[in-house]
Structure 1
Amino acid sequence: MVACKKHWVERCWREGIMPSRPPKNWLLFYFLSKKRRNLLINPRSEDGLNGWESVGGDTWMCYKRQLINLRKDGYGPALMDDIQPDIKISDWYAPNSNGQSCYEILVELLDQNKKPINVFHPEPVNIEQGNDQQSCQVSHVFKAYGPGVRFICFTHGMIDTGNWAGSHGIQAINSSVEICPEKE
């Protein structure tokens, strides 16, 4: 076991993958570090609604959803059930001072039948007209969520609470869902 650990420690060092503290399992740390990426398609909306399902509203003034299939993304049942790596979600929203809006996020960890196992759903954020606030981040880390997670449903969006049309309101930008190599 010592030789195996030494191999993975050296490999991490050679490839510049260093943890903030020594992990319990260097092989697992290496594997998850190499695979770490944003699991959302088109997270910055650079390609319109590609990858997103619109849930009411028009264009980006709506709620949008993506369903992530963890097995298809390389995170199998054994990993998700036995190891239960942390799942970090993040979303940025930027208010538009020209209108009243409401931003909301809902992230669900789902089982194989797409039934919720764990949910992150903070209170909606209401933005009043004339607000000159900068971009804001919402983040959450799912920890020790239990076995059975097979999908992640990421839903976020904004609705115009005033009588504005078009691009007024809040813009949801730079969303992410990541499987973490270390406990966050």
Structure 2
Amino acid sequence: MAKNLLKNPYGDDDFSNWELTQNGGDKWIVEPMTDNAVASYFCTSHKLCLKKQVIILLQSGYDAAYLDSAPEVTVRDWYATRHDCGGVYRLTVSLLNENREVIATFKPADVTVPAETTWTQVTHTFTGYGPGLRFISFEHGGQDNKSWKGWYGIRVTGSSVTIPPKP
């Protein structure tokens, strides 16, 4: 079974392993989950909040020959809003070569999410992208759509990037 290559996908260790690339408004926070088996989630503010991880695949147990065979790379992310405020969700995942140049990118249009949206999963599988994969950049986040001061923006949790183990 493929393991999740992202570290700290639920915010259990606050923001360790994440680079805060945009930290607008009242900034990112981690909040406890009250109605699910997941312990916590990341919460955005009234201005754009984005966070990123870059996965170094050669340090994650994959060898160059296997990566050059272009194995499937599956990305999953979960987002939701509060009961009283909608938001905008953003996701960008890029496959990078040894020079950190882009091989392939998954960047769906920003999603405007109404208030009271329950947890929604987005998923994408990269295939047929050719040789050279060495890094994966995963960046996501958003903001609220009412510009309310505080943490009324998009919530994200349970993010994952998986590559099947070498056969």
TM bucket normalised to smaller: 0.7 to 0.9
Task: Give the equivalent residue in structure 2 for 1:120.
Answer: 106
Alpha-carbon distance in structure 1 between the residues aligned to 2:88 and 2:116: 15
Paired residues for 1:140-155 under 5 Å: 140-155=124-139
Name whichever structure is richer in helix by fraction: 1
Task: Give the equivalent residue in structure 1 for 2:66.
Answer: 79
Q: What's the C-alpha RMSD, in Å, of the aligned pairs?
A: 1.5
Q: Which has the larger radius of gyration?
A: 1
Q: Is the 8 A contact 2:84 2:116 kept in 1?
A: no
Alpha-carbon distance in structure 2 between the residues aligned to 1:47 and 1:166: 22
Task: Give CA deviations for 1:127-163 in whole Å, capped at 9, x if unaligned.
Answer: 23xx222110000001111001100000000123322
Alpha-carbon distance in structure 1 between the residues aligned to 2:137 and 2:165: 21
2:72 paired with 1:90: no
Paired residues for 1:26-65 under 5 Å: 33=1, 36-57=2-23, 58-59=27-28, 60-61=43-44, 62-65=49-52
2:136 paired with 1:170: no
TM-score by length of 2: 0.82
Aligned residues: 145
> Which of structure 1's runs of 4+ aligned residues deviate more than 2 A?
97-100
Unaligned runs of 5+ in 1: 1-32
Unaligned runs of 5+ in 2: 29-42
Name whichever structure is richer in strand by fraction: 2
